[in-house]
Structure 1
Amino acid sequence: MPAGTLITVAPTGAETAKADVPALPVSVEEIVAAARSCEAVGASVVHLHVRDGQARPTLDLGHVGELVAAVREATALVVQLSSGGAVTDPLPERVAVLEAAPDAASLTLGTVNFGDDVFSNPWGLIVELHTQMQARGIVPEYEVFDLGQLATLARLLDRHGLPHGGHVHVDLVMGVPGGMPGTTAALAACVAEVRSTLPAGTTFAATGVGRTSLPVMLAALSAGGHLRVGMEDTLTYAPGEPVRDNTQLVARAAGLAQIAQRPPLTPDQARTLLGIAPAGGAGTGTTPSPTDTGGAP
């Protein structure tokens, strides 16, 4: 692999209301347009949350499958589906989204306070998502909201084996009220744990929520990590300046990666890094089967 930076865009999320942030993409057409423009400026992975016709978060498989197919048809991006959904979603429905067959999916490694809510991720759910992804040929991105969740990942891999594709990739989610802070010290502690307790070759990305976005990006790049940005996590570009769109956030991340002399990876390079099979349907109007892609969330 060339030295480079994997940039994931998370364009929508499940927490922000369209009425409060009109620029937030929520329809299939809006999310596809955002994905295409972000790909053009350096994104290689898109992390998808799904909304229904009233812009409400949904795990309905009809809506989920429609969005996965549409993004796949319009872009070459790695399609990563959220298995977290909204904090109020029932656990069985979060597992059921794996039937939509994207290339990859998130897998959160523990329960965490999420502002005034609780994001529930008990051990049984973690194991079920991990083993279901193995069986379906899905590549997980392990979401870490606090240092102790890296110990959970080490235990998971020891008891249930490596993920599909053989490569372990974690995303350090920083700055959520209730999780670890978005600081260089917190990131350094996590990176030390990744390198001392997880398989050789494990890679990490970092997500800075809200005002921690920029310092987390700079710290991650300095430590050899990758980046996740997007309107799911950040709605202010600078003090007093709302984010215009997801492309603005990806372009900033790509510019910082260039300055660090680790330019953005292409989608094909991202697939190689993550252990995902080559794309079989981007731009062709066809949706590959899980067997063709090696991936579903």
Structure 2
Amino acid sequence: MTRPFIMVAPNGARRGKADHDALPISVPEIIHTATSCYNAGANGLHLHVRDEQGLHSLDVGLYKEATSELALVLPKLKVQVTTEAAGIFDVPEQLKCLQELKPKWASISIREMARDLSLAPQVYDLCAESGTEVQHILYNTDDIQLLHEWQQQGIVKATQGSVLFVLGRYTQGQISSPDDLMPFREAMPNVKDWMVCAFGPQEHACLANAAQQGGSVRVGFENSLVTPEGMQHADNAASISRLIKTIDQLK
């Protein structure tokens, strides 16, 4: 089995230092974490930036600062920015971020775009025009059905086929299972470019299962802080190293 593309999601929109001291908040901390994760074997970074209060942000200035520094320090690391609403941002603000930033790669939740049907087509048109690669965030098979409908209607372009299957949620005691991937795969049997992330202590088992099936994987503190034994990873790089060891043992 070939080692999959590995993306690290080191912080997310909701967790902070109270959850783990090594969770990066500031841009310098994100750069430091990205470097250690790249050295551990990460191929890509799912980028969230935070404001001065440490809160989730779609601030274009912060994004430009972080992506410019990452390009200098880690030119081979593929960087994906998030447009996640996180209960804070509406579709106009998400669209504005994409318009001003024009990132190379962005993650976009189709259910979030569906909150404003008048603007959703503009989001995908803009990405196509500006050359922004889109990864659709899919939380369940209802999201997949909506994606199929929008593809048929031409709202989502033929070139915008990349997806992320999300196993689980931010809920107390969440334990995602490798079996949780099955409904996604059955609903999209012919998808070529797919990735998986998973919440809880079985994160690595879920990702190893996805890798065996030919998928890419997303790992990191956005989704899980703990080992299969329930102990906290030392940092994001430690989680990546252990995941790679788990995957390599399957070869």
After TM superposition, is the score higher than 0.5?
yes
Q: CA deviation at 1:23?
A: 1.3
- Residues in 2 aligned to 1:63 and 1:23: alpha-carbon distance in whole angstroms: 20
State the TM-score, normalizing by the size of structure 2: 0.87
In the alignment, which residue of structure 2 is the partner of 1:195? 189
Which amino acid counterpart does residue 93 of structure 1 have in structure 2?
Answer: E
Shift of 1:158: 2.1
Q: Structure 1 residue 90: deviation in Å?
A: 2.8
Q: Give the CA deviation at 1:177.
A: 5.3
SS in structure 2 at match of 1:236: coil
- Equivalent position amino acid for 1:102 in 2: P
2:220 matched residue in structure 1: 230
Q: Higher RCO, 1 or 2 (CA under 8 Å, sep at least 6)? A: 1
Q: Which amino acid aligns with 1:231?
A: F
Q: What is the distance in 2 between the residues matched to 1:187 and 1:245?
A: 26
Give 1:257 shift.
3.1
Query: How far apart in 2 are the matches of 1:101 and 1:69?
Result: 13
Q: In structure 2, what is the Cα distance between the partners aligned to 1:25 and 1:177? A: 18
- Matched position secondary structure for 1:8: strand
Change (3 A) 1:20 1:225: closer
2: distance between equivalents of 1:31 and 1:37?
10
Within 2, Cα distance between the matches of 1:17 and 1:96?
26
Amino acid at match of 2:139: F
Question: Is contact 2:16-2:25 (8 Å) kept?
Answer: no
- TM-score between both structures, scaled by the size of structure 1: 0.75
Shift of 1:126: 4.2
Check the 8 A contact 2:83/2:106 in 1, yes or no: yes
Task: Name the amino acid aligned to 2:14.
Answer: E
Task: State the secondary structure of the residue aligned to 2:64.
Answer: helix
How many pairs does the alignment contain?
Answer: 246
Give the Cα separation in 2 of the matches to 1:132 and 1:182: 34
CA contact (8 A) 2:121 2:156 kept: no
* Partner-residue secondary structure (3-state), 2:65: helix
RMSD (CA atoms): 2.5
Distance 1:136 1:11, change over 3 A: same
Query: Which residue number corresponds to residue 270 of structure 1?
Result: none
Query: 1:221 touches 1:260 (CA, 8 Å); kept in 2?
Result: no
Distance 1:240 1:257, change over 3 A: closer
Aligned residues of 2:163 and 2:195 also touching (Cα < 8 A): yes
Q: Which amino acid aligns with 1:122?
A: R
Could you tell me which residue of structure 1 aligns to residue 32 of structure 2?
A: 33
CA distance in 1, matches of 2:79, 2:175: 28
Q: 1:21 to 1:181 in 2, by over 3 A?
A: closer
Residues 85, 36 of structure 1: CA spacing in aligned structure 2 closer, same or farther, 3 A cutoff? farther
Query: Residue in 1 aligned with 2:101?
Result: 100
Consecutive unaligned residues of structure 1, counting only runs of 5 or more, are 112-119, 262-297
Partner of 2:89: 89
Hey, what does 2:248 align to over in structure 1?
A: 258
Q: Distance in 2 between matches of 1:258 and 1:239?
A: 19
8 Å Cα contact 2:163-2:194 kept in structure 1: yes
Query: For 1:147-176, what per-residue CA distance to the aligned partner results, in whole angstroms no more than 9, with x for missing partners?
Result: 121121122222227658x36221111111
Q: What is the aligned partner in structure 2 of residue 173 from structure 1? A: 166
